Amino acid sequence: MVSVLNTASSIRLSNSKTSRWLTPTVSPPFSLALTRRKLTVRATETDANEAVKSLTPDKAPAAAGSSMNQILGIKGAKQETDIWKIRIQLTKPVTWPPLVWGVVCGAAASGNFHWTVEDVAKSIVCMMMSGPCLTGYTQTLNDWYDREIDAINEPYRPIPSGAISENDVITQIWVLLLGGLGLAGLLDVWVGHDSPVIFYLAVGGSLVSYIYSAPPLKLKQNGWIGNFALGASYIGLPWWAGQALFGTLTPDIIVLTLLYSIAGLGIAIVNDFKSVEGDRAMGLQSLPVAFGPEAAKWICVGAIDITQISVAGYLLGAGKPYNSLALLGLILPQVFFQFSSLGDWDYYPCSELDIDFII
């Protein structure tokens, strides 16, 4: 993704532009969206949309981007006009693997997965539900509600640049949401659940995704609550789906995975570093904004390391010393590289810093 902060001077907006951006005359988007669309998966067209357009140049920069980055939905993407490539970019395929891996972990933890054609097919459908469909829905929805922030941070992304229309974005949100819920219902029928557990998980995850990005709750406005909700969704929900698909989802598994999701809080903070200027301008209290990038980087790695070390301690207490030692053996190199990479790291709100190495 191309940053609008190419030079230090580019972030010094004039007082007049800043005041227009910070104080758009908008009606509450939640209530107004209810009257226009019946279901608030879209924000109303308001003067805020005009503010977005005013901060976005008519054309994308001439610098060549990467076609691979465009497909993956990450920084440095090539500017595309092909609508299907843009649709894929909005779903951010680079974010799918953790969800897919979570399904694998849940299936393995169930103890009932077997390498049969049917079990493999079930797991693939569950991965499609968790990754391309519901994660794609989450990412597209988040980009829609973040279009004003992206107009500051990354004005060349598909939505603020106008590369994709409002109707196309809304259609994509609906198709991915309904597709994910449909696959969840199919899986419940396939395995013969008396209660549609996987469908309930899909509905719950979709609701969390909505309130994370959309007003009036917009959980991401609070760095602690929003990042934990994101981390728990990425770690806990796919695990639960995989385990429910092949076994039984028990309360102890739910609690343990929620605790492990504290590590996801640290992972979620990483994404906030590239949006500090826009978050600050729009009043979002991400942890890099609330505590400063220097403190936030240690909160980020601390949440990950403390959680993993706690799990190693849990395994030791459960009478599995070799498993505990194996996990510690993986954690120690991670801690070493964290300190060696971040110890002398400084944050620059411009192109002097490329944070691709931690995304």
Query: Do 217 and 126 share a structural domain?
Result: yes
Question: What is the sign of the dihedral through the CA atoms of 150, 156, 159 and 162?
Answer: positive
Give the pLDDT band of residue 344 (cuts 50, 70, 90).
Answer: low
Query: Do 237 and 281 share a structural domain?
Result: no
Decide if 231 is inside a domain: yes
Query: Do 344 and 221 share a structural domain?
Result: no
Over residues 325-343, mean pLDDT: 89
Give the pLDDT band of residue 51 (cuts 50, 70, 90).
Answer: very low
Q: How far apart are alpha carbons 38 and 220 in whole angstroms?
A: 24
- The larger pLDDT score, comparing residue 279 to residue 351, is at 279
Do residues 122 and 242 make contact, with C-beta atoms less than 8 angstroms apart? no
Decide if 48 is inside a domain: no
Give the pLDDT band of residue 56 (cuts 50, 70, 90).
Answer: very low
Residue 261: predicted pLDDT:
83
Report the share of the chain in percent with pLDDT over 90.
44
Query: Do 219 and 71 share a structural domain?
Result: yes
Give the pLDDT band of residue 197 (cuts 50, 70, 90).
Answer: very high
Decide if 79 is inside a domain: yes
Lowest mean pLDDT among 74-78, 125-129, 212-216, 271-275: 271-275
3-state secondary structure of 26: coil
Total structural domains within the chain: 2
Residue 347: predicted pLDDT:
55
Residue 74: predicted pLDDT:
81
Over residues 235-253, mean pLDDT: 93
Query: Do 221 and 99 share a structural domain?
Result: yes
Query: Which residues are CB-neighbours of 359 under 8 A, at least 6 positions away?
Result: 74, 75, 270, 271, 274
What is the domain-level CATH number for residue 106?
Answer: 1.10.357.140
Over residues 222-245, mean pLDDT: 89
Residue 115: predicted pLDDT:
96
Do residues 106 and 234 make contact, with C-beta atoms less than 8 angstroms apart? no
> Is the pLDDT assigned to residue 246 strictly greater than 90?
yes
Q: Whole domain around residue 324: which residue ranges?
A: 250-358
**What global pTM score does this model have?**
0.71
How much is the mean pLDDT over the chain?
A: 79
Which residue, of 215, 248, 281, is where some domain finishes?
A: 248
Among 22-36, 114-128, 146-160, 243-257, the range with the most confident prediction by mean pLDDT is 114-128
Cβ-in-10-Å burial (0-12, 13-18, 19+) of 340 comes to: exposed
Query: Do 285 and 182 share a structural domain?
Result: no
